[in-house]
């Protein structure tokens, strides 16, 4: 062993973003995070993923928190650790394509408020949808990590990923991530895939997977042995199930080997101690559904990512049709095929999932087609790996002409208009972006914020009048 050169695996901690997005519908509050970040800052993580994805929407919509304020508070606490976010290319954190001026401004403000590494992906792996965000990140001296959505299907051979990896390097990605949203990458396939990619590009390779199908920890082991530089894990109270493998487990797995990340298990135990009551609380309130905690080997069949599984469960619950769960899971691959075999990740996972729910609940396929399904079939999200089903496309868009260019080329600058529309609410520059992404939700949040500020003023001025924030 003495002559073996150490190449410690780097670890990105996801408990502040993906882990709670996957397990408890992104409901972790800033106040749940702040007391522990000083300790987390001492672990030696490559980065902490703590922003982006669904956290932005959930903060404004459900938690009545300003996401920008959260980011600034996290930045204050993490003095030594890089902060990482997840960005859906031209979709940013929303569900449509934004014009380039909004994308550039969003990236600029994310980095200005504390983000170091931006993981940028496109649901369809259409790299044209990443160009603008990647350029903007590099312009602001951020680290642009380009993520390829990993999925299975006829189009998705090892060569497919190697070719995209080469393009990622050419377009200036500082690192590359294989983003396996559903836990579809099995251990020996990881050996093959990682070796092939490492043989083709020089930039660091990170692997992101979910525990859903039960193989994730083994997949990381094989990936690291094959040369993968960085892996994503979550502290054990919010690990496994539809989340990531546990940080403590992987740290221990590599201990004493050339890959040893050198983490202190006692420190990790203290951090886990902080999060455990939050998990117990979530289980008790029903926020954490035991259904998403087990191993679901069927995800290998349905290829449904963690967040999407819990969304389907709640959509069916709302429709009082929970017994249709497996019918919907069976319909998902059919819809996916009709839609050009896209990887199932936000927003395509929601689009395919909702369409599958409609197809099942209506008892007839494509009797109703959502606006988003139409847009996907029309090419408004970009190019799919396979052609879409022409019949279904015809049913959805009639004689409209499909889009073949970079979709954002069709969008005029929109920042000025948005700024004008929301100026009565603006208290900081970043508010413009919150409004750009979620106009209605942000407006409600701004009104709540104003009401709260007023009631605080009133209660300071006149404690007797009983006005309190709602
Ligand atoms: Co994920």
Dihedral of the alpha carbons of 142, 143, 144, 149, in degrees to the nearest 10: -130
Q: What separation in Å is there between the alpha carbon of 22 and the centre of ligand 1? A: 7
Q: What separation in Å is there between the alpha carbon of 177 and the centre of ligand 1? A: 11
pLDDT band at 470 (very low <50, low <70, confident <90, very high): very low
Q: What separation in Å is there between the alpha carbon of 318 and the centre of ligand 1? A: 25
pLDDT at residue 301, rounded to an integer:
72
Q: What separation in Å is there between the alpha carbon of 210 and the centre of ligand 1? A: 6
d(CA 217, CA 211): 7
Phi, psi of 239 (to 5 degrees): -110, 175
Q: What separation in Å is there between the alpha carbon of 207 and the centre of ligand 1? A: 10
Q: What separation in Å is there between the alpha carbon of 56 and the centre of ligand 1? A: 15
For all residues of the chain together, what is the average pLDDT? 94
Q: What separation in Å is there between the alpha carbon of 361 and the centre of ligand 1? A: 28
Q: What separation in Å is there between the alpha carbon of 232 and the centre of ligand 1? A: 9
d(CA 93, CA 208): 19
Dihedral of the alpha carbons of 300, 259, 18, 146, in degrees to the nearest 10: -90
Q: What separation in Å is there between the alpha carbon of 410 and the centre of ligand 1? A: 30
Q: What separation in Å is there between the alpha carbon of 257 and the centre of ligand 1? A: 27
Q: What separation in Å is there between the alpha carbon of 325 and the centre of ligand 1? A: 22
**Of 124, 122, 112, whose CA–CA distance to 87 is shortest?**
122
Sign of CA dihedral 302, 307, 308, 313: positive
Instruction: Count CB atoms within 10 A of the CB of residue 163.
Output: 12
Cβ atoms of 260 and 254 closer than 8 Å: yes
Q: What separation in Å is there between the alpha carbon of 175 and the centre of ligand 1? A: 17
d(CA 84, CA 106): 15
pLDDT at residue 314, rounded to an integer:
84
For residue 228, give Cα distances in angstroms to 4, 47, 178. 17, 16, 10
- Residue for token digits 């396939």? 189
pLDDT at residue 5, rounded to an integer:
82
Omega before 347 cis (within 30°)? yes
Cβ-count burial 399-417 (b if 16+ within 10 Å, e if not): eeeebeebbbeebeeebee
Q: What separation in Å is there between the alpha carbon of 180 and the centre of ligand 1? A: 7
Cβ atoms of 235 and 246 closer than 8 Å: yes
Cβ atoms of 388 and 339 closer than 8 Å: yes
Q: What separation in Å is there between the alpha carbon of 181 and the centre of ligand 1? A: 5
pLDDT at residue 275, rounded to an integer:
98
- pLDDT beyond 70 at 465: no
Q: What separation in Å is there between the alpha carbon of 424 and the centre of ligand 1? A: 36
d(CA 388, CA 349): 16
| pLDDT tens, position by position, 284-317 | 999 999 888 888 877 777 777 666 777 888 899 9
Q: Where are the beta strands (DSSP E) in 93-173?
A: 117-121, 143-149
pLDDT at residue 291, rounded to an integer:
80
pLDDT at residue 232, rounded to an integer:
98
Q: Where do runs of H (alpha helix) occur along 172-297?
A: 187-200, 216-225, 247-253, 265-285
From the number of C-beta atoms within 10 Å of its C-beta (0-12, 13-18, 19+), residue 277 rates as exposed
| pLDDT tens, position by position, 157-177 | 999 999 999 999 999 999 999
């Amino acid at each position: 062993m003495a002559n073996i050169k150490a190449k410690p695996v780097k670890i990105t901690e996801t408990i502040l973003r993906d882990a709670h997005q996957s397990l408890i519908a992104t409901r972790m509050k800033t106040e749940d995070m702040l007391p522990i970040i000083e300790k987390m800052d001492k672990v030696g993580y490559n980065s902490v993923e703590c922003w982006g994805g669904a956290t932005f929407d959930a903060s404004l919509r459900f938690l009545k928190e300003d996401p920008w304020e959260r980011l600034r508070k996290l930045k204050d606490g993490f003095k030594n650790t890089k902060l990482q976010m997840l960005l859906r290319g031209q979709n940013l954190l929303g569900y449509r394509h934004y014009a380039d001026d909004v994308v550039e401004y969003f990236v600029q403000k994310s980095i200005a408020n504390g983000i170091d590494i931006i993981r940028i992906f496109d649901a369809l792996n259409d790299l044209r949808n990443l160009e603008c965000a990647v350029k903007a990140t590099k312009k602001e001296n951020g680290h642009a990590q380009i993520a390829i959505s990993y999925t299975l299907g006829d189009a998705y051979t090892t060569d497919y990923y190697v070719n995209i990896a080469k393009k990622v390097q050419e377009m200036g990605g500082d690192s590359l991530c294989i983003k396996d949203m559903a836990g579809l990458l099995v251990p020996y396939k990881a050996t093959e895939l990682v070796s092939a990619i490492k043989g083709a590009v020089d930039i660091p390779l990170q692997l992101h997977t979910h525990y859903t199908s039960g193989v994730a920890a083994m997949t990381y082991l094989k990936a690291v042995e094959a040369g993968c530089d960085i892996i994503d894990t979550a502290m054990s109270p919010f690990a496994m199930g539809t989340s990531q493998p546990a940080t403590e487990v992987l740290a221990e797995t590599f201990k004493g080997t050339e890959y040893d990340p050198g983490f202190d298990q006692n420190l990790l135990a203290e951090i886990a101690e902080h999060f455990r009551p939050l998990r117990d609380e979530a289980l008790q309130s029903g926020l954490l559904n035991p259904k998403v905690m087990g191993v679901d080997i069927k995800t290998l069949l349905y290829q449904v990512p963690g967040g999407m599984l819990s969304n389907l469960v709640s959509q069916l619950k709302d429709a009082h049709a929970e017994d249709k769960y497996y019918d919907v899971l069976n319909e998902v691959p059919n819809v996916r095929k009709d839609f050009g075999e896209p990887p199932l990740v936000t927003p395509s996972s929601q689009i395919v999932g909702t369409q599958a729910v409609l197809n099942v609940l209506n008892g007839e396929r494509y009797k109703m087609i959502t606006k988003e399904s139409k847009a996907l079939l029309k090419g408004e999200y970009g190019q799919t790996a396979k052609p879409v089903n022409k019949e279904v496309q015809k049913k959805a868009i009639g004689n409209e002409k499909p889009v073949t260019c970079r979709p954002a080329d069709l969008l005029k600058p929109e920042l000025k208009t948005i700024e004008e529309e929301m100026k009565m609410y603006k208290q900081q520059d970043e508010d413009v972006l919150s409004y750009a992404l979620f106009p209605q939700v942000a407006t409600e949040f701004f009104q709540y914020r104003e009401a709260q500020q007023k009631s605080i003023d009133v209660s300071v001025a006149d404690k007797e009048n009983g006005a309190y924030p709602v």
